[in-house]
Structure 1
């Protein structure tokens, strides 16, 4: 039984989970992941979700077709090309990750929910309060090694719409890589014989150099420190909640108006929202003014002039990002205007080029596989608004919403979302309970110039029960 604080309740009935294998024989081989894939911070499972209305009237060829059957069949065909995703991860003696391409398949769950799309209402925004209903955690399937790399559940709705939710092992792909696979799956669902963009493995392109050498400063990597202000900042994860922050175009413009003219016209939306989130979050946490805080923004290495030397081919679906950090003392960040934070974020982002990625891969080999800092003053943000997750069409039209289903205590995602017909960005936020209202007030203050202002979208609070 699903329920939340909006008193919506419904039954979800699932069939027995099954393994979907490639529709044709595929090579049985072992493939090594890149050193960028192999970092400790990516050894977790990330859920994503797509919500579809019943739009079959717009495409008569899909009238009467069952989305579960169509997607299940298309999955087997897509795995012929993406056959490593049907394998299992293993480690060598040095704990280097490898994929045993054994064709054992991905987990697939067929389900029916006794609810209509319209009844779900605002609950389709992240964090999804019904994620456990729309994405069943099959017992024994959630380890990093020796388990299916993808779990998919397709749930029919009473109105004829459906929900596709999946969980993917992050070491295998990033948001752009997942989108590429999902596009291939959607093309197969619509009758294609092969994907428009053939997948490319070539993970060796993002391996460390020989010999490895660190040539850049990497604040995102945890350092040994005797600084009491660092030691006392461990993140207490026992009393945290997750909630959505929605910012419409008027609010984003209001935030931009806090900047001096030279920044107002040059900073990107990603830089603006990253700086705003960093400052509001730091103010809400009420940290020691001497505490060092930082925010890391994921920067994709694909398709940029500065990373052309990486030679990443079209079709590469591995992890191809790094996360340079902006760093400041908490007191300075809170006292100075927003432009100070924007300048730091812009500077950090500008450091990302081919050499930065090479240096980061080398650092992972020299110092050991990196894991995120588990401190109050550290946050990672990922903008997936341009990844294309909202463009996946299985034949019934585009999703009403798509993207990561939740955030994590140390990771927030920027996603496209609409409220009342107004386009904007939704960001799932994790905070200690004591800081939530303070955070809301800080966001309200910085967006007060908007003429048609929404409050932060009221959605269900999700309490943290376990860490990555």
Structure 2
């Protein structure tokens, strides 16, 4: 069965609240001013696929994942007890967590489908996502006075299962979710406590008093004429993942200017290439301002550093601003330099603190999205490297992608380890995007040779 034609209905139990298995503190804990920005007020999905465990009397294959994971969730919430609470909004739209211990939503389900029916390589959008998650996917949501975590565990006909998680993004970023899921797995496998204890410490990323932003923050400044965007509500959107194998990344590096070849990360190489293709595909006017926005994890970059175990949002946005004409008409190396500088400018010790000050001063705005390519590097977030007692996940990453996208570690059907970039565009723009990819492969990388002989090896799969 092709994954594109996959259809099934999950038989769900009634949702129930899972509370911490032991008494937890009743208190109010303010979120940081990075946590409670408007753009993070939604539920971020992460979905995990696990195969049936090995046979044996005491093996995971004989255990019910719904019961096992519900009990482990109750135990892990003793340590992550704010997640079992509810968000309240105070003066100035400031968000705090009321640690009520009410619990998180849990649903058990069954589906008459096998893991292999989802396809040989899983990428967003996961087929039939609506049957595997509790909530409809959305980039905005009400997060006040409602549960902060929704989980559905769906048993598959093959003995494997799907763990679908949707967490209020104000509570945790991708590394924070990975830390939480690692803790669940450790408790499933018999640990008495997580190996890394969760730390709140949101006060470290609170705005200063008085506010004193030290940098410009174009990520929170609206573009001129946002109505000139080429993506509108109601557009029919097409999703396609693009796989960059090691040879493709090596070819991108070879195409970079000599002074950048050994200074650029693979994220920068791929992001610059995709940004140019996407911008050209959307057919902006040459004078239209376009932006690149990448999520940068500030862990390890702050002084003093955030403590080990911090699971809140420690993210900021590297931003590049140019015109569509400049980006598409100048060489690939120009786009690459813009992307590099966008990341570099947020690496200073106090940039994230400055962002907190700006967010409060501006009333907690959303980051700009019009004519903007937004991308997150998930290759180091370790979302995929999770073992809940049934072995390492076959897949662990977001279930869907919208205008924002990700760089995801992927092993293709040939066993090559590379990066998948899921792209979502209006149908005609997607057709142009594929054409742009093919054209750039032939013209940016010298020699007039074929894709395969060049070794670029960018492939797309529906």
For residues 142-182 of structure 1, give each alpha carbon's deviation from its aligned partner in whole angstroms, at most 9, with x where no partner exists: 63111111111111111111111111100001001111111
Deviation (angstroms), 1:450: 4.5
Q: 1:355–1:238: structure 2 CA closer, same or farther, 3 Å change rule? A: same
Q: Alignment partner of 2:278: what SS?
A: helix
Partners of 1:293 and 1:329 within 8 A in 2? yes
For residues 302-348 of structure 1, give each alpha carbon's deviation from its aligned partner in whole angstroms, at most 9, with x where no partner exists: 123xx232x31000000001002011111010011111011111111
2:358 to 343, 348, 363: 363
Counterpart position of 1:67: 65
Range 267-276 or range 413-422, more displaced: 413-422
Q: Alignment partner of 1:22: what SS?
A: coil
Counterpart position of 1:462: none
1:244 to 238, 241, 250: 241
Counterpart position of 2:16: 18
Deviation (angstroms), 1:235: 3.9
Partners of 1:17 and 1:138 within 8 A in 2? no
For residues 64-104 of structure 1, give each alpha carbon's deviation from its aligned partner in whole angstroms, at most 9, with x where no partner exists: 11111111110000000000000111101221101111011
Q: Alignment partner of 1:354: what SS?
A: coil
Counterpart position of 1:108: 106
Deviation (angstroms), 1:238: 1.7
Partners of 1:59 and 1:445 lie apart in 2 by 57
Deviation (angstroms), 1:413: 1.1
Counterpart position of 2:343: 349
For residues 22-54 of structure 1, give each alpha carbon's deviation from its aligned partner in whole angstroms, at most 9, with x where no partner exists: 000101111110000011111111111111112
| TM-score, with length taken from structure 1 | 0.91
Equivalent runs, 1:19-418 vs 2, <5 Å: 19-57=17-55, 61-122=59-120, 124-137=122-135, 143-223=142-222, 227-228=224-225, 232-233=228-229, 235-239=231-235, 240-304=237-301, 307-309=302-304, 311-352=305-346, 353-375=348-370, 377-409=371-403, 411-418=404-411
Partners of 1:246 and 1:456 within 8 A in 2? yes
Partners of 2:3 and 2:119 within 8 A in 1? no
Partners of 1:287 and 1:374 lie apart in 2 by 15
Partners of 2:98 and 2:418 lie apart in 1 by 42
Partners of 1:49 and 1:277 lie apart in 2 by 25
Partners of 1:257 and 1:60 lie apart in 2 by 52
Partners of 2:297 and 2:33 lie apart in 1 by 16
Q: 1:57–1:445: structure 2 CA closer, same or farther, 3 Å change rule? A: farther
Range 155-164 or range 445-454, more displaced: 445-454
Deviation (angstroms), 1:245: 2.1
| TM-score, with length taken from structure 2 | 0.92
Residue segments in structure 1 that go unaligned for 5+ positions in a row: 460-468
Partners of 1:169 and 1:286 lie apart in 2 by 35
Range 259-268 or range 450-459, more displaced: 450-459
Partners of 1:200 and 1:316 within 8 A in 2? yes
For residues 240-287 of structure 1, give each alpha carbon's deviation from its aligned partner in whole angstroms, at most 9, with x where no partner exists: 333322222222222222212221222001111121121111111111
Deviation (angstroms), 1:299: 0.8
Partners of 2:343 and 2:21 lie apart in 1 by 43
Q: Alignment partner of 2:63: what SS?
A: coil
Deviation (angstroms), 1:370: 2.1
Partners of 1:138 and 1:337 lie apart in 2 by 41
Counterpart position of 1:466: none
Counterpart position of 2:447: none
Partners of 1:86 and 1:274 lie apart in 2 by 37
Q: Alignment partner of 2:118: what SS?
A: helix
For residues 117-160 of structure 1, give each alpha carbon's deviation from its aligned partner in whole angstroms, at most 9, with x where no partner exists: 11221473211121101113289xx6311111111111111111
Q: 1:286–1:296: structure 2 CA closer, same or farther, 3 Å change rule? A: same
Equivalent runs, 1:2-13 vs 2, <5 Å: 6-13=4-11
- Please tell me the root mean square deviation across aligned C-alpha atoms, in Å: 2.2
